[in-house]
Structure 1
Amino acid sequence: MIDALYIAASGLQGSQTQIDTLSNNLANMQTPGYKRSNVNFANVAMLTPAQVAQGAGAQGPGEGVEVLGSHAVFSEGALVQSGNPLDLAIQGQGFLEVLDAAGNHLYTRAGQLHVDSEGYLTTAQGNRLADGIQVPPDAKDLTIASDGKVSAVLGSDTQPTEIGQIQLATFASPDGLQSVGSNAYMATEASGDATLGRPQDSGFGSLQQGMIEQSNVDMVQSMTSLVLAQRAYQLNARVLQAADEILDTINNLRR
């Protein structure tokens, strides 16, 4: 009966983690470039005393659930036109590589760009593109081609001049990327190092100027999962309460 308390408690913790994750997904449904998160669970098993004495590796009765962590799902969201020439969406695989204030290399699919005070192309979160593309003060008619070439008409020129090249980054295991907030991710041992390449090259997506990628959160699926997680939480709470009442009854019988 004591085991029932621990099993129910692990179920409560797991359900709460699932509820928090799903709630965060739903809260970011309208956030451009947001990628929904999934929670990974594992069944906790134990060895019986006899199996421990024999050094056996077989697993015994279940001992509840354990939260292994969460990971982002990088399926592509719908692309919609924004009318802003500095908005940039990735169609297919790849991430924009950016640098944060500390010089760390981060990766994102949220391509709502702007030109900062020094002329560099920067994300809405204030991270400059790692390609270091600087737009001259007299530039106009900025164009970002699907292959990442950035051009603008400079000064009194009548023809555009290429001023930079945007590259994309891919990973062997993008599920291993670590979220650092604001739709940005950091490479880990699990994800592997970034592989850089030009858009439209083999294995890389293409860039779409004047478009944004919407969140990949499915409202119906997320709401359904949220209801199931809430029901699981309630059932585990009832198990916890029932186990407590049975233990109380047993204690009273001993008196």
Structure 2
Amino acid sequence: MKALGTAATGMLAQQTQVDVIAHNIANANTTGFKAGRAAFQDLIYQTARREGALTGEDGAARPVALDIGLGVQATGVVRSATQGGLTATDNQLDLAIDGRGYFTVTRPDGSTGYTRDGAFNLSATGEIVSLNGDLLQPTMVVPDNATRVEVSPDGQVMAYVGTEVQPQVLGRIELATFVNEAGLKAVGDNLFLESAASGSAVPVEPGVNGAGVLRQGYLERSNVDVIKQITDLITAQRAYEMNSKVMTTADQMLQSANQIR
């Protein structure tokens, strides 16, 4: 009887689904977080009788096959790239991407990371850094006596220094876009790494070639729909219970067969 093994794969699949949902709900308030969705596919089939096989001497053929599936397996977690809502803040270095694209940062080990989290601050030397201390690229240094920093929607960063009327241009923030955003490798700390599946990063100025524009003084909220996550959680729970019921029924059938004398 294959039902025991098949139901076990179903329970494992729903456990994976619950794990993904739990991660989404836990990050409902994480800046720039993108919700994931578990994807599944059926396992191989065992064919007891093939379609088209002759069923009689008159040449009649079987119209359908007798294929028994062996269950389900998880194939991946697909991230939603939908835009999260924007929340106004009091920090002039808080930046939100309104549209496609990722900020590029340099990690302490020298590797390049990508993030939608635009909660930036200044380092001890005046460089613009993330909350983890990763340097925003291209690197820009804000003067010690700067009274205000302005970031235009197209990424130009300007600082008003001392009593000067005209701002000093510090540089321009570039965004990175990818052919397959879902292929980026998540490593935690709101960071993603380039992978073979994502393709190479394409540097682009904000607002150009489909990239989003920057909104100074805003942060992008998580795109997690809590109501939908709770609905999916209930569905996964019921599916888990049904697979458990299948295992119980299969066990009872085997027990009945063993008691036949």
Q: By the TM > 0.5 criterion, same fold?
A: yes
8 Å Cα contact 1:45/1:60 also seen in 2: no
Instruction: Give SS of 1:253's match.
Output: coil
Letter in 2 for 1:128: L
Q: Cα distance 1:198–1:9, how it changes in 2: closer, same or farther (>3 A)?
A: same
> What are structure 1's unaligned runs of at least 5 residues?
52-57
8 Å Cα contact 1:35/1:183 also seen in 2: no
Larger radius of gyration: 2
State percent identity of aligned pairs: 37
Q: Are 1:4 and 2:11 matched, yes or no? A: no
8 Å Cα contact 2:205/2:211 also seen in 1: yes
1:118 aligns with 125
By how many angstroms is 1:24 displaced?
A: 1.3
8 Å Cα contact 2:46/2:70 also seen in 1: no
2:96 & 2:197 partners in 1: Cα distance? Answer: 26
1:29 aligns with 28
2:234 aligns with 227
8 Å Cα contact 1:120/1:128 also seen in 2: yes
Please list, as runs of the form range in 1=range in 2, the aligned pairs for 1:7-156 lying within 5 A after superposition.
7-48=6-47, 60-156=67-163
> What are structure 2's unaligned runs of at least 5 residues?
51-64
1:239 aligns with 246
Q: Are 1:203 and 2:210 matched, yes or no? A: yes
2:84 & 2:259 partners in 1: Cα distance? Answer: 59
Higher helix share: 1
1:120 & 1:15 partners in 2: Cα distance? Answer: 46
8 Å Cα contact 2:48/2:67 also seen in 1: no
Please list, as runs of the form range in 1=range in 2, the aligned pairs for 1:211-222 lying within 5 A after superposition.
211-222=218-229
Match for 1:176 among 172, 179, 183? 183
**RMSD (CA atoms):** 1.8
1:55 aligns with none
8 Å Cα contact 1:88/1:113 also seen in 2: yes
Letter in 1 for 2:4: L
Instruction: Give SS of 1:164's match.
Output: strand
2:223 & 2:105 partners in 1: Cα distance? Answer: 22
The alignment's TM-score, normalised by the length of structure 2, stands at: 0.89
1:59 & 1:152 partners in 2: Cα distance? Answer: 73
8 Å Cα contact 1:105/1:130 also seen in 2: no
2:48 & 2:110 partners in 1: Cα distance? Answer: 53
112-121 or 205-214: which moved more? 112-121
